[in-house]
Amino acid sequence: MSVAILGWSITLAQVLLTLAMGCAALRFIRGPRAQDRIIGLDTFYVNAMLLLVTLGIRSGTTLYFEAALVIGLLGFVGTVALAKFLMRGEVIE
């Protein structure tokens, strides 16, 4: 019974997370400002990270958590680069 509950909740979580990704994607497709797009991409990354965690829970291995860890540790780099580009017009001065 608990396995079924876990299975269903994971599926539900995945659907909701991908829906959230869809919303974030909507933001960076529509904009309207460049800042919205960057925030959208950051949200997208966070949701993807959580999605990887749910994959890990379902398969029962820690390998997926590492992919999530990579996003957690380095996912911000893209956001920072984009933000810096907006703020200063170039990424590395």
Partner 1 sequence: MSHGTLLLVALLLPFIGSLAAGFLPTHARNTAAILAGSVAVAGIGISVWLYTSLADGAPVQFWLSWLPMLGLDFTLRLDGLAWLFALLIFGIGALVVLYARYYMSREDPVPRFFSFLLAFMGSMVGIVLSGNLIQLVFFWELTSLFSFLLIGYWHHTASARDGARMALTVTGTGGLCLLVGVLLIGRIVGSYDIDQVLESRDLIIQSDLYVPALVLILLGAFTKSAQFPFHFWLPHAMTAPTPVSAYLHSATMVKAGIFLLMRLWPVMSGTDAWFYLVVPAGLVTLLLGAFIAIFQQDLKGLLAYSTISHLGLITLLLGLGSPLAAVAAIFHTLNHAIFKASLFMAAGIIDHETGTRDLRKLSGLYRYMPITATLAMVAAAAMAGVPLVNGFISKEMFFAEAVAEHTGSLLDDSLPYWATLAGVFSVTYSLRFILGVFFGPPPVNLPHRPHEPAHWMRFPIELLVLICLLIGIVPSLTVGPLLATAVKGLLDATPPYYSLALWHGFNLPLMMSLIAMAGGVVLYLGLRRYLESGIEGPPILRDFKGQRIFEKVLATLSWQWARAGEATLGTRRLQPQMRIVITLAVVAALAPFIANGAVGTGDMPGTPLPPGFALLWLVGGICALGAAYQAKYHRFAALVLVGGAGLVTCVTFAWLSAPDLAVTQLLVEIVTTVLLLLGLRWLPKRIENVYPSRPPLKVLLRRYIDLTIACALGGLMAFLAYCLMTRPLTQSVSRFFVERAYSEGGGTNIINVILVDFRGFDTMGEIVVLCLAGLTVFALLRRFRPAPESIEQPEQQRIQHAYDVATPDRSPGDTVADYMLIPRLIMHWLFPVIAVMAVYLFMRGHDLPGGGFAAGITLSIAFVVQYMASGTRWVEDHLRVLPLRWMGMGLLTSCATGMGSWWFGYPFLTSHFQYVELPYIGKVPAASALVFDLGVFALVVGATVLILIALAHQSLRSSRAAQASEGGE
Return residues touching partner 1 (CB under 8 A).
11, 14-15, 17-19, 21-22, 25, 28-29, 31, 34, 37-38, 40-41, 44-45, 48, 51-52, 55, 59, 61, 63-64, 66-67, 69-71, 73-75, 77-78, 80-82, 84-93
Cβ-contact 18, 51 below 8 angstroms? yes
Cβ-contact 52, 67 below 8 angstroms? yes
Minimum CB–partner distance for residue 3 and partner 1 (Å): 17
Cβ-contact 68, 53 below 8 angstroms? yes
Q: Smaller CB distance to partner 1: residue 5 or 52?
A: 52
Minimum CB–partner distance for residue 11 and partner 1 (Å): 7
Minimum CB–partner distance for residue 36 and partner 1 (Å): 10
Instruction: List C-alpha distances in Å: 75 to 30, 32, 45.
Output: 22, 23, 7
Cα radius of gyration (the chain): 16
Minimum CB–partner distance for residue 12 and partner 1 (Å): 9
